[in-house]
Structure 1
Amino acid sequence: MASPQNISVDQMRQILTEVIDALDSPDYSTKLDEAKEAAGNEMLKMMQIVFPMVVQIQMEIIKRHGFGSGREGIVQFTQLVRDMECLDAEVARLHNQIRSHFLPPVSISSTVDTSL
């Protein structure tokens, strides 16, 4: 196990994959689905109910890889992921997959109002 400061892109991919596997596991997926249903389409409720669950699951995984188990660990991990997203499309894809558990998909309309 490398220290958090020395994690390679391949190791980060593995950690993110472990987080996704945990989120999709029978142990958590039902609870997350129930939380999402309770939140509905309200972003505030998603951030109050679902986001903390995702972060807690993520913290369980990252502490096995040398990150702290508290707020500092998750902040350090998230910053490292963001730095690596710029270097590796797979890290960015995996991180987006995790975020999709608590952020609804964003659709950008391709229609432009030219009547102005």
Structure 2
Amino acid sequence: MSSLQRPMAASAPAPAAPLSAEQAKVVLAEVLKAFGAPENAQRLDEARDNACNDMGKMLQFLLPVATQIQQDVIKAYGFSSDGEGVLKFARLIKSYESQDPEIASMSGKLKAMFLPPMTLPPHGSGTGGVAAS
């Protein structure tokens, strides 16, 4: 049996052990590498083309492909291979962004791969918004 003991009665996988910043950096680098792999880059390009830079369509076409690519990498590091595992990984990376400029940079690159560039409406366009308190 491995050094990571799991209780016999547990039906769900054990939660991922928190990664150090250095470990998170390694996993993040592997995720970026996976996004750059030719077959994954092609899948992302096709999904991006189908989405036509429409945020709703991005969620429909691009996000599932991006999520699957991340799942394939992070499951080897103890994260569950479902959407919850991706969310836990994203929260972990977010927690290190302010402490480690390299993680912040890598995280920005990752987001840029599957989120459309955000264009702000012209200032004073009068289209509602949130009032400052």
Q: Counting helix residues as a fraction of each chain, which structure ranks higher?
A: 1
The structural deviation recorded for 1:49 is: 0.5
Which whole-Å deviations, capped at 9, do the CAs of 1:69-115 have from their partners, x for residues lacking one?
12332222111111111211111111111111221223569x977xx
Contact kept? 2:35, 2:69, Cα under 8 Å:
yes
Structure 2 alignment gaps of length 5 or more? 5-14, 125-133
The 2-side partners of 1:5 and 1:100 are apart by 27
Q: 1:56 aligns with which of 49, 57, 68?
A: 68
Q: What amino acid does structure 1 have at the position aligned with 2:106?
A: L
Q: Give the % identical residues.
A: 34
Q: What amino acid does structure 2 have at the position aligned with 1:81?
A: I
Across the aligned residues of Structure 1 and Structure 2, the Cα RMSD in angstroms comes to: 2.2
Aligned residue for 1:87, secondary structure, equals coil
Contact kept? 2:44, 2:65, Cα under 8 Å:
yes
Q: Under a length normalisation based on structure 2, what TM-score does the superposition of the two structures give?
A: 0.73
Q: What amino acid does structure 1 have at the position aligned with 2:76?
A: R
The 2-side partners of 1:84 and 1:5 are apart by 15
Contact kept? 1:51, 1:102, Cα under 8 Å:
yes
Q: What amino acid does structure 2 have at the position aligned with 1:88?
A: D
Q: Which runs of 4+ in 1 moved over 4 A?
A: none
Matched residue, 1:44? 56
1:79 aligned onto 2:99: no
Which whole-Å deviations, capped at 9, do the CAs of 1:33-58 have from their partners, x for residues lacking one?
11101111211101110011101110
The 1-side partners of 2:34 and 2:97 are apart by 21
Q: Under a length normalisation based on structure 1, what TM-score does the superposition of the two structures give?
A: 0.83
How many residue pairs end up in the alignment?
111
The 2-side partners of 1:19 and 1:75 are apart by 14
Q: 1:19 aligns with which of 31, 34, 40?
A: 31
Structure 1 alignment gaps of length 5 or more? none
Larger RCO, structure (CA 8 Å, separation 6 or more): 1
Max radius of gyration: which structure?
A: 2
